Amino acid sequence: MSVGGSPARVVSCPTCGKAVAWVAENCFRPFCSERCKKIDLGAWAAEDYRVPEPEPPLDTELPG
């Protein structure tokens, strides 16, 4: 239970998909464990996550 007696929110671990209660006692949130947290950090360090670049225009001729 969380503050006010309402049930804690449950989210999926971004690494393994396991259900995780979103509570202050879980120091790894949104991850389920330190292992999943470190796997995600390693993916960032290896540049596995990237912001896609916009596609260049097909017409590359300069006007004028």
Q: What is the pLDDT of residues 7-61, one digit of tens each?
A: 889 999 999 999 999 999 999 999 999 999 999 999 999 999 888 888 877 776 6
Which residue range is the domain that position 24 belongs to?
9-45
CATH of the domain at 27: 3.30.50.10
Structure tokens at 41: 């950090």
Q: Please, what is the Cα angle at 47 between 50 and 24, to 5 degrees?
A: 85
pTM as predicted: 0.66
- Number of structural domains found in the chain: 1
Query: Does 22 fall in a domain?
Result: yes
Closest by CA to 1, choosing from 9, 49, 29, 55, is 9
Q: Which residues does 9 contact at the CB level (< 8 Å), separation at least 6?
A: 2, 21, 22
Query: Does 39 fall in a domain?
Result: yes
